[in-house]
């Protein structure tokens, strides 16, 4: 483990030259163009999701969490609330049910998830508010998922994933969505970074759309 977030950020910034600048610029243009293209449909879906979340259980419709982004910087990630309003307070009582090694946390059939929240997660509709993160430049459509733990939790070899903006979807989401540890997911993230291209991004987006529609029909 390295000692601080500042040391992690310094290391990542020094290594970022490995990610082609031209690709990053084109990727940003593609992100904004695709988000604006689907915006009319997204707005309607946002309104429907917000309504059903509000009717299903008390609490905020959209909540935010601090996540670790590019260069180890923290940012607010937005999601539709899929758990009961006091889910974080209940977490210490459920730690013994965690089935994944540190630093991951996953409970099968998590009792904190609401009825609507279960559907939103199954269809990934809870992630839609992150399009705002994309427009703000904090995230991209395709990239490593931002972690809820800080950069100082990463081992040295793992910091490579912090050289790029985190994404809404990525390679591991379409290959090993539910059955992988952090290390396994991270190796897929590194494989994506090493061979990233606009073509690969479009293929991952297409595979994500297919997976989402497939789950919604289950």
pTM: 0.83
> How much is the pLDDT for 152?
85
Residue stretches of the chain with pLDDT short of 70: 1-19, 176-179, 215-218
R_g of the chain computed on alpha carbons: 17
> How much is the pLDDT for 2?
45
State how far the Cα of 168 lies from the Cα of 140, in Å rounded to an integer: 7
> How much is the pLDDT for 217?
45
> How much is the pLDDT for 1?
44
> How much is the pLDDT for 129?
97
> How much is the pLDDT for 142?
96
Tens-digit pLDDT profile for residues 18-62: 567 788 899 999 999 999 999 999 999 999 999 999 999 999 999
Sketch the domain layout of the chain as residue ranges.
Answer: 5-216
């Amino acid at each position: 483990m390295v000692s601080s977030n500042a040391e992690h950020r310094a290391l990542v910034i020094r290594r970022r030259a490995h990610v082609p600048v031209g690709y990053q610029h084109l990727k940003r243009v593609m992100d904004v163009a695709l988000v604006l293209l689907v915006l009319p449909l997204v707005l309607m879906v946002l309104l429907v999701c917000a309504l059903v979340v509000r009717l299903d259980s008390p609490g905020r419709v959209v909540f935010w969490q601090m996540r670790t982004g590019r260069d180890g910087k923290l940012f607010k990630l937005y999601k539709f609330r899929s758990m009961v309003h006091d889910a974080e307070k209940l977490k210490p009582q459920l730690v013994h049910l965690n089935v994944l090694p540190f630093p991951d946390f996953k409970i099968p059939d998590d009792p904190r998830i609401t009825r609507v929240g279960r559907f939103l997660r199954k269809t990934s509709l809870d992630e839609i508010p992150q399009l705002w993160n994309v427009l703000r430049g904090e995230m991209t459509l395709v990239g490593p998922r931002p972690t809820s733990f800080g950069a100082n939790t990463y081992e040295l070899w793992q910091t490579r994933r912090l050289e790029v903006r985190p994404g809404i979807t990525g390679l591991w989401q379409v290959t090993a969505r539910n059955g992988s540890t952090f290390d396994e997911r991270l190796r897929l993230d590194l494989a994506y970074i090493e061979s990233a291209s606009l073509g690969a991004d479009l293929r991952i987006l297409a595979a994500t759309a297919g997976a989402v529609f497939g789950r919604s029909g289950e």
